[in-house]
Amino acid sequence: MTDIFDLLETADYENLIFSHDEATGLKAITCIHNTTLGPAIGGLRIWNYKTEEDAIIDAIRLAKGMTYKNAACGIYAGGAKTVMMIDPEKNPKSEEMMRAFGRFVEGMNGRYLTAEDVGSSEADMDYIYQETDYVLGTTMKPGTSGNPSPSTARGVYVGIKASCKQRYGSDDVKGKKMVVEGLGNVGFNVCKYLLEDGAEVYGTDINEKAIERAKEAGVKIIERDELYSFDADIYAPCALGATINDESIEQFKFDIVAGSANNQLKEEKHGQILKDKGILYAPDFIINAGGVIHCHDELFGGFNKERVAITVDGIYDQLLKVFKIAEEEDIPTSQAANKFAEDRIAKILKTKKIFARVNKSTIRR
């Protein structure tokens, strides 16, 4: 078994919290990575983990990722993640399990706010909300934020424009040829924005319904196995992670990679390989931050569409800043994005040396 404190020392993690309830079968692990910028926000991932060790490793990896995403997009939140271990046959998720978890979240007293992630749903957030206010994306709370995908898509769209500005000197996408992988909630809406702007949009998916919908909107469909060698200016990964890997990267003829998927680089070295090939990479956690910006807005007296739109459109400038760091320091944009996030945290950390009697929280209850 891994030594837990050694693990926490690898990235200065704050908490690793095990929540257990025999009556409901709840087994959840919440990792709070860093709360310098505010309460830690991170989704609830529900998964059939083979071992506890797998669950712990996933929780800490994802929590750190959330710290970076939240810091870079300018919201007032730290990073965390919960993983819930279930067995769909013997111990499936249930109302009582969610409510037990909600009570544990309540006990964390606002250091952590949970939200939807892989395996959890809006209904699960509604169950959790019966026990705690520290949950985002429930349908029941007045001023709830609802589905974040449209904001994520908008952020990816402005991120593609910023990438064009950096690569071609103009952010006009008219006439640009682009290929979108995954025509789901985010990918489809990205296609719509680009079609409206006169881009030539190609796409691929494994789901027939998604393909039909995209076709009707004017997307030209290509075969899945044509994708990585497709002759396009821009590739937008909007399906799965790790699609930038040794096999795919060899085939790339793109100028830009900019899409919504999380963890697009299979390994850190692929950021360097993209740079060496002269391909501009819009780091995933910067360009896909629209969703967390959307959910986080609930904390300020209820969701405000206009305020969210302004911050989401700010992804354009955030990306240009990251590209500038990469240029100045001659490093891959993926590394520059990490530096950008770390820099904001370091600056705010310095203010903590000033004594304040009340530690103002961004959470309004």
Residue 239 touches ligand NAD, criterion: CB under 6 A = yes
Q: CA-to-CA distance for 81 and 5, rounded, in angstroms? A: 18
CB of 283 to ligand NAD, least distance (A): 13
Neighbours of 117 (CB within 10 A): 20
Size of the site for ligand NAD (CB under 6 A): 24
69, 81, 93, 275: which one is catalytic?
81
Alpha-carbon distance of 250 to 318, in angstroms, equals: 29
Binding window for ligand NAD (CB under 6 A); candidates: 17-25, 31-39, 258-266, 301-309 = 258-266
Stretch that binds ligand NAD, among 129-137, 233-241, 245-253, 343-351 (CB under 6 A): 233-241
Binding of ligand NAD at residue 187 (CB under 6 A)? yes
CA-wise closest residue to 184 among 142, 156, 161: 156
Q: Is 81 a catalytic residue?
A: yes
Q: Which is nearer to ligand NAD, 121 or 262 (CB)?
A: 262
Contact 340, 72 (CB under 8 A): yes
Between 198 and 241, name the residue whose CB sits nearer to ligand NAD. 241
Residues 6+ apart with CB under 8 A from 109: none
- The yes or no reply on residue 97 touching ligand NAD (CB under 6 A) is no
DSSP notation for 166-224: HHHS----TT-EEEEE--SHHHHHHHHHHHHTT-EEEEE-S-HHHHHHHHHHTPEE--G
> Binding mask 121-160 vs ligand NAD (x if CB under 6 A, - otherwise)?
---------------------------xx--x--------
Tell which one of 260, 311, 334, 335 touches ligand NAD (CB under 6 A): 260
Six-digit token string for 182: 């995954």
Taking CB under 6 A as the criterion, which residues in 98-117 touch ligand NAD?
none
Decide: is 26 part of the binding site for ligand NAD (CB under 6 A): no
Q: How far is the CB of 276 from ligand NAD (least distance, A)?
A: 25
Q: Using CB under 6 A, which of 238, 244, 265, 337 touches ligand NAD?
A: 238
Shortest Å, Cβ 185 to ligand NAD? 4
Output the residue with the shortest Cβ distance to ligand NAD.
Answer: 184
Q: Which of 184, 339, 361, 363 binds ligand NAD (CB under 6 A)?
A: 184
DSSP state of 40: E
**DSSP string over 234-292:** EEEE-S-S--BSHHHHHH---SEE----SS-BSSTHHHHHHHHTT-EE--HHHHTTHHH
Interaction between residue 257 and ligand NAD (CB under 6 A): no
State yes or no: residue 264 binds ligand NAD (CB under 6 A).
Answer: no
DSSP code of 127? H
SS3 91: strand
Question: Which residues in the 198-227 window bind ligand NAD by CB under 6 A?
Answer: 204-207, 210, 224
Burial of 325 (0-12, 13-18, 19+ CB in 10 A): middle
Query: Dmax over Cα atoms in the chain, in whole Å?
Result: 61
Q: Which is nearer to ligand NAD, 130 or 262 (CB)?
A: 262
- Nearest of 73, 97, 75 to residue 85 by alpha carbon: 97
Among 67, 163, 166, 288, which residue sits at the site for ligand NAD (rule: CB under 6 A)?
Answer: 288
Binding residues for ligand NAD, per CB under 6 A?
A: 148-149, 152, 181-187, 204-207, 210, 224, 238-240, 260-262, 288, 291
